[in-house]
Chains A and B, each alone.
Chain A
Amino acid sequence: DIVLTQSPALAVSLGQRATISCKTNQNVDYYGNSYMHWYQQKPGQQPKLLIYLASNLASGIPARFSGRGSGTDFTLTIDPVEADDTATYYCQQSRNLLTFGSGTKLEIK
């Protein structure tokens, strides 16, 4: 299984930059694509796709959100953070079956 490791929590001041990391125990690159995706989930809501294939912004997602990385190291950046960004953020790989990270809970100070 491909295991994804995320830090449990992050606190960032309003208007600053939030960087959320996701590390995998195996390479998730294949033929020029990195099979890593990012989701936002707020309490009581379903997950929402933010970033697909490591760096592509999903439809309707503001440009404050960005993703980068390859191989085994990936980051989701929110810059600047807004109060509404309070949520849990999950990474997910699809290189070999489908697995999720444990989620990073973002607090806005």
Chain B
Amino acid sequence: EVQLQESGPGLVKPSQSLSLTCSVTGYSITSNYWGWIRKFPGNKMEWMGYISYSGSTSYNPSLKSRISITRDTSKNQFFLQLNSVTTEDTATYYCARLENSGVMDAWGQGASVTVSS
């Protein structure tokens, strides 16, 4: 059974970078697509981007200038970096496995990140 687990700092200062790791067990990240999604206070959900089995990426256009998703296949992990954060980036961040159809069929438990000085 695939399992995903997010990790990273829970507090980030404005203008700095937010970095999160998603560790995957039970399934290889060299198959499927692997994405980041965030849920804001107030319940709005936003897809941020994904990295494919081959290492190609796709990003939400609203974040394209600030986001980077990379991976380490030897550790079966993928990563999120979001630059120049503001308080508006305060959210719970989830990593998920995506099928070809774009459905997210497995999710991590989520990592709460607060942007505050």
Contacts and interface: CB of A to CB of B under 8 A. Distances in A.
Interface of A: 33, 35, 37, 39, 45-49, 52-53, 58, 88, 90, 92-95, 97-100, 102-103
B62 to A, nearest CB: 9
Interface of B: 35, 43-47, 58, 60-61, 94, 99, 101-105, 107-110
Contacts of B99: 52
Contact of B44 (A45, A92, A95, A102): A102
9 contacts: A33-B101, A47-B45, A53-B103, A93-B102, A97-B60, A99-B47, A100-B44, A100-B45, A103-B45
Nearest to A37: B103
A58 B109 contact: no
Tell me whether chain B's interface is mostly helix, strand or loop, or mixed. Answer: loop
Contacts of A95: 102
A100 B102 contact: no
Given A97-B47, A102-B44, A103-B43, A48 B101 contact: no
B104 A92 contact: yes
B104 A47 contact: yes
B105 A58 contact: yes
B110 A98 contact: no
B108 to A, nearest CB: 6
